[in-house]
Chain A
Amino acid sequence: MQLLYFKENAVDILKKQDLTANIKYYYGNNYWIEQKYPNQKFLLPFSKTEVPEFNLKMENGINDDYDNMVIIYENLKFLTDSQASDERLWSGMAHTIFWDYMQHRWPMPIDKEKRSRHILNNYFFWNSTKAVFLNGLSRLWWYARFTYDENLDDPYELTKYVCENDINGKIFPLLSCAFINNKEVFKNIIKAVKKYEEENNTKLSRNQFDELKKYLNRLSGKVFIDELSSEDIYNKICERIKIIRESSSWKNDVKNVINSIPRDEFTLDDVYLCEKQLQELHPDNFHIKDKIRQQLQFLRDDGFIESIDKGVYRKK
């Protein structure tokens, strides 16, 4: 099949000039482009040679993402990063050969206010350094590009992992970290988290993953992460996850103590009354009162409680 890309003028007209007027056409078929712009040659063939015919899966929405990442990357692996970061290619294909896929996977939102933004994000590149991971088609190629690893028995093992682990809530925010653009660093981080989860038979929650991201950001301000070996990254991540998990467990335990207090207002001493109970839950910790004060600060920062006087709190 022939890959088609938009001329710059086409992107300009569809994305800027006529976007609002064209919103109604993003339901149904794509004949409107030729009908509305009969004399404009919007499309150009991407190369002289054709690529083998391939289709994207359109059965289970988001659950097809992994299969579609593999399909698109296997068929378009020849694209250079420069070509694959060109908006004209993906917006051209989204409006032509993959129009039906786009309609299935990225149906127009019911909320009228969100429709133009939906088209800009999914059919074009819109206002973000992460635009290639937002566009409905290019995201498939780029997630595969970042996770494909020929050194693994299954080169798409990490692709599968990110698809099965809250790609929008955990992985996408991680992509805003500058060091992630080093694909080896990205893969080493994902491999380290995956290995930790497998070894400890656990899954990091979205909050825990976010805490890990914050830690890596802080670390990147101090050391040059690109120069750390995969083993260095694994060791640092394991150490940090232990701290994060311990901290989130402490936070929950103190939260439970606060919830058990029958009044909205309470004092530090009220929480200290449960020192023994918390000591039993954390037998290795010998500074329970210090830990309680620390967790109360965290819970205050989280907005769970507010501090109304020295040592006096109110539930929110």
Chain B
Amino acid sequence: MAMNKNKLFAYPVLTNYTDDYVNVNLVLESTKILEKTKKISKLNYIFQVDDNNIIKLIKERKAKAVLKIYCPATKYRKIIDLTLGTNNIILNNADVNNKVQLESFIILTENIEQFCSESFNIDYRGDTFDLEKGSIIALGNQENVFIEKDIYEFTKVTSVIKVRKSTSDEKGMTVDYSDQNIYVYLPEEEYITYSQYAKHCLEVANSMVILPALIFVFDELSKDDDAFIEYEDCKWFRVIKRKIKDLFNQEFNSNFIKVAGSLLISQRILDFPLKSGFEWIKGKID
């Protein structure tokens, strides 16, 4: 579980989003480049700080920087000590699955009386604090990385869009993208026809069912920037994100959808199904 950014401490804590300290640089973050092999995943984690008191505590081994690695799926939680500079982090792929949360801290390794810093905000200047072992004195970035089975990397977008029979009396199709796959629900009669015939005329079926469903999802996503964080855990999201990177060399965000347009993105992802769909129909009629 990620530590809440709004969490309050009873003493000054060095972060990049509060002003408890002034004129202090803190870098506790990864280089965002994940190298994966079949068995391990590697990334570099950078730790830099220029507060004299904290550096002194680290040198005296009274404080240390740590990286917390947590995988919600496998319950893997490991704490790694960081040294100043670049740290090479190696993860065993067997320990983790999908989302891995990274959080870094500087913590005390023993009780410290009269903890203070020349860089404290003026509100704290001259104040000292008695802190116990384990207390957090600096918070780094919170990041997520995804370490997933290689199979996902080659997954087609259409395989994360499932067509299902609707259980409600609603007419027409509905789309639900709140799960790992995008679900397109069809009324019973249409679903039966789809199940029997779609496999024989895939491009036609894709144009009728999958294309509008994708357009709907992109339109909905473009309305809300937070959705891009919310759905990051979903497999369909990551498959589409990767596909967009391949096809457009662009980041998947609301701005990209607004600029490129849901209609064009959906058609390119499905490799322009109209053309081959019409060719199939033409072949049948001719």
Residues of A within 8 A of B (CB): 12, 16-17, 20, 80-86, 129, 132, 142, 146, 178-179, 181-183, 221-228, 232
Contacts and interface: CB of A to CB of B under 8 A. Distances in A.
Given A80-B94, A81-B94, A82-B93, A226 B79 contact: yes
B75 A85 contact: yes
Contacts of A129: 72
Q: Is the interface of A mostly helix, strand, loop or mixed?
A: helix
Contact of A17 (B75, B107, B165): B165
Which of B77, B95, B105 is packed against the most chain A CB atoms within 10 Å? B77
B79 A227 contact: yes
Given A80-B95, A83-B94, A226 B68 contact: yes
A132 B75 contact: yes
B181 A82 contact: no
Q: Is the interface of B mostly helix, strand, loop or mixed?
A: mixed
A223 B136 contact: yes
Contacts of A178: 1, 70, 77
Nearest to B78: A182
A212 B14 CA distance: 30
Contact of A81 (B75, B105, B167, B179): B75
Q: How large is the interface on B (under 10, 10 to 19, 20 to 34, 35 or more residues)?
A: 20 to 34
Nearest to A19: B167
Contacts of B164: 16-17
B181 to A, nearest CB: 7
Which of A129, A146, A182, A224 is packed against the most chain B CB atoms within 10 Å? A224
A228 B76 contact: no
B54 interface: no
Interface stretch (B127-135, B224-232, B248-256, B277-285): B127-135
B79 A20 contact: no
Nearest to A80: B94
Contact of B107 (A84, A132, A224, A232): A224
Q: Top 9 closest A-B pairs, CB basis?
A: A223-B134, A80-B94, A178-B1, A181-B77, A81-B74, A182-B77, A85-B74, A82-B97, A224-B134
